[in-house]
Chain A
Amino acid sequence: MLSLAEFQFTLAADLLDGGMRTAYLLPGDPALVREALRIHRNTVMSGLTNALRISYPTVAWLTGEDFFDQAALEFCSKYPPRGACLSDYGGGFAEFLEGYAPAGCLPYLADVARFDLAIERCANAGYPAPIFLTLDLQTAIEIDGSLITLAVEYPVDQLRDAYDDGDPDGLECLDMSPAAQNFAIWRDRDGTSVRQLTAPAATFLGAVLRGEKADAALAATLLHAEPEEALAAIRTEIFAAPYVRIQSQPHGELE
């Protein structure tokens, strides 16, 4: 006799791939059994698709419902969730879109997905402790723990703005030529905020968020920028940023 685990594994497979392996265990009119399995499959897939739609609203808006649903269905069937909180689900959708043939004519779509997810994750992040960076014996900076940095190739912030404004006409004047762009994303009282970063600021901030001390973060920045440019970027874009607080007494070294 089939064990409970075997039954559950087989039914789960049926719901993910539309199979009918468990049908022989479900007595009654075969037509009703088929419909019942379809109802459960629809519940699973619509739940997962809706979760993706919430995490990737700009992608869904740009592609339209039919395209998004089809892409989501394929992603969800291949990569079902590992936990019950659907707000955690959907990481990897950007990478999936990069290899998704129907999205081949939309080279910016994966970056839009990365931006959407960064905003969603930032808005719903736990309460991470702030990051302290000691600059010298008297000075440290405190960086908001919700801060995320993101490097992309397309003007994803402008696409997201068009979505937020419900303005498809605004897409027509966008320059969609690929060019390296960096963003700081953080949570504040009004929700989630975004600010574009220059390359030196992004390099420094990225190193700090990875746990580097100030000297190492600066050294990494100077590999790709002149000292004057790097220091100006760090001073104006990071030290003066809304997600940073200057401490006159250091709280100690970063871990």
Chain B
Amino acid sequence: MVQPIPLNRAAFNAWPIPARAGIGLRVPHHRRVIEEGHVADWLEVHAENYMIAGPAAQELDVIRRDHALSLHGVGLSLGSADGINDEHLARLSDLIARYAPGLISDHLSWSSIEGVHLPDLLPLPYTEEALSVVTRNLDQAQTALGRTLLVENPSSYFQISLSSMSEPEFLGELARRSGCGILLDINNIYVSARNHGSDPQARLRAYLDAIPAAAIEEIHLAGHSIEKLDCGRDMRIDDHGSQVSAGVWWLYQSAIATIGARPTLIEWDTALPPLDVLQAEAAKAQTVLDQLIRKEELPYALAG
């Protein structure tokens, strides 16, 4: 009979995430990563995919031996007015105890209300009430987990008239009140700017002005798609299903020129390509980081 190792038992030593390019690891790539032994400077996984004691968790045990690991969640629902689900928090705590991740993150969003959970990162109105709710939920989570969490800025398809402050202001104040870190998703900044008719560079500047640089502990880069709507307008969809666009590379370059090198993750979740495509994207990010460190001219020109 199978003799499993319980999920909540510590199995690995701490391994910090370096300020280098990493890859988002998805279950279809497990076998290849196990065969190759070491495929990137660090890996990030979706925490919820490993909260059940199945084959994926056992494979991650093997992978973790050779890689620094970051846990990126989608289920904490930090913006929920109801608060955080204690069972979910306990499962995340077990995962952290086991894998000793270098970074742990989730989103500035909500998914649960009145016991119903919707698998989407839903937008918050940026109000004082919402700020209090997210701060309270973060305090609870960080205390229970004994770790600082990074909060990722969302992509948005609409704005909410209830908001009394901007998203960058909300995140900056959240970091100050809760002590959380910020995971700056450059693709989300670009997608939201284009969807709302604003300049991506100006939007990035607003984030970097509002959020203390020291609070930004990780960067995400991803691809997006462009959907032609029936009304003739375009909507950019944050689907993580393609290469990073030139406009996002340009914003990334601007961001790290301002705040310095940060752990940078290539996210690719849908229409998953072969692993070497992800590695090639990570190599592009590493080129930008290396040239910043060497104070060379950064490679990406504005492409809109």
Contact = CB atoms under 8 A, between A and B. Distances in A.
Q: Which of A7, A29, A44, A187: most chain B CB closer than 10 A?
A: A7
Contacts of A39: 157, 227, 235, 237
A85 B116 contact: no
A245 interface: yes
B82 interface: yes
A11 interface: yes
Interface in B16-40: none
B52 interface: yes
B122 to A, nearest CB: 7
Given A35-B231, A39-B157, A123-B55, A3 B129 contact: yes
A28 B87 CA distance: 39
A242 B2 CA distance: 11
Interface in A1-35: 1-5, 7-9, 11-12, 15-16, 25-29, 31-33, 35
A148 interface: no
A81 B75 CA distance: 12
B228 to A, nearest CB: 10
Interface residues of B, number: 54
Contact of B52 (A11, A25, A87): A87
Q: Bin the interface of chain A by size.
A: 35 or more
Nearest to B196: A28
A27 B161 contact: yes
Nearest to A130: B1
A227 B76 CA distance: 55
A150 B51 CA distance: 25
A26 to B, nearest CB: 5
Contacts of B146: none
Interface in A101-131: 123-127, 130
Contact of A32 (B6, B74, B161, B235): B235
B135 interface: no
Contact of A124 (B52, B80, B112, B158): B52
Interface string A226-252: 000000000000000011010000000
A4 B157 contact: no
A12 B118 contact: yes
Contacts of A188: 1-2
B119 A28 contact: no
A44 B117 CA distance: 10
Contact of A8 (B5, B81, B91): B81
B158 A33 contact: yes
B158 A47 contact: no
B208 to A, nearest CB: 26
B160 interface: yes
A174 B2 CA distance: 33
B116 A124 contact: no
A43 B120 contact: yes
Contacts of A1: 162
B274 interface: no
Q: Which of B111, B119, B124, B162: most chain A CB closer than 10 A?
A: B119
A80 B117 contact: yes
Contacts of A8: 80-81, 110, 113, 122
A63 B293 CA distance: 57
A84 B75 contact: yes
B55 A12 contact: no
Given A39-B235, A85-B88, 11 more contacts: A9-B113, A26-B159, A27-B159, A31-B231, A35-B230, A81-B116, A81-B117, A84-B112, A127-B5, A144-B1, A191-B55
Closest 10 pairs between A and B when the two form their complex, measured CB to CB: A84-B75, A47-B119, A36-B157, A5-B81, A31-B231, A124-B54, A36-B158, A8-B113, A124-B52, A4-B81
10 contacts: A5-B81, A5-B113, A8-B80, A32-B229, A51-B119, A80-B118, A82-B115, A85-B48, A125-B53, A127-B53
